[in-house]
Homo-oligomer: A and B are copies of this chain.
């Protein structure tokens, strides 16, 4: 694999995770950090041991040494930076969501389609070996016809009314929150595992705290305690949403997302009920699959190279019982993305494309319409 040079735009929680994941590969050099100002860029670059620092993303994009851009900025900057990265001929791995609106997503999808660049979205839950095995089980019809898909993504980091963060402000986070921040992961994962497309949705949502209290001191995502003075803010994005789904082909789905469910930290779960067996995966126990049967004992399949399908094996690296977790899924993400750049191999289908990102935005739009109409809304598939 040839060495590839990358830049990280936005070295917050997730940007730093990208840096660490890339370094594990051994063939990617993170050569630049971009932030919204030079001082911060230099500070972060220094902390992370990265040689270059840019306080302006347009300048960074003109650095010809840089082949790949990681867009790890806040949601409202995704569209413009992604667009410019493509226009500057950079390979691009964007954090989700692709954009704040489906119109923007469409534009980027089309732009990417016309460029000969490697593009991807960081839906990293696809990258767990047990997800790959489950996908393989669906493909090989080990579960039989898929009849019912149940899923949820529950968190508790916004439980209290003093929990506040930029993601709550539509101009930064978009007009949906639980749906787009965590629902998008869930919907992408379900479509990826089953190969089934959302056809129609019926949804309900609620805002548990119509007023929240913003602290005068900025808070990171997932950070707990609010500090400083508190000021009330009207909340217009949902804390909770449930969606009933008709899939193309007749399967049904029911999905719930919540950021106010105590005791749930990052509880992404998918349950697939087929005609022969059911398969369940919980992200908080990532190395397990629960396989349910009617007429024989149900199974608890562990992440062990001797037990998984061949196609899942490249996604695991250590023997059974030496657990690989969230950080390892990110490493897989990076490897599967960069392999296409470093070796010229076709991009792995485990990497979500801008088409997938656009599709997820269309699901988001239909859910919003259904919440407003109180009735079934069709998804315009890409």
Contacts and interface: CB of A to CB of B under 8 A. Distances in A.
Contacts of A283: 321, 323
Contacts of A311: none
Interface of A: 3, 13, 17, 19-20, 23-24, 26-27, 48-49, 147-148, 150, 152, 155-157, 159-160, 202-204, 206, 208, 221-222, 224, 239-240, 242, 244, 246, 250, 252, 254, 256, 258, 260-267, 271, 273-278, 283-287, 290-302, 304-307, 317-328, 374-376
Nearest to A258: B148
A287 B282 CA distance: 14
6 contacts: A150-B152, A202-B204, A222-B305, A264-B321, A265-B304, A287-B325
A273 B299 contact: no
Copies of this chain, whole number: 4
Nearest to A124: B322
A203 B252 CA distance: 12
A262 B278 CA distance: 5
Contacts of A262: 273-274, 276-278, 292-294
A20 to B, nearest CB: 5
Nearest to A280: B263
B204 A265 contact: no
B244 A284 contact: no
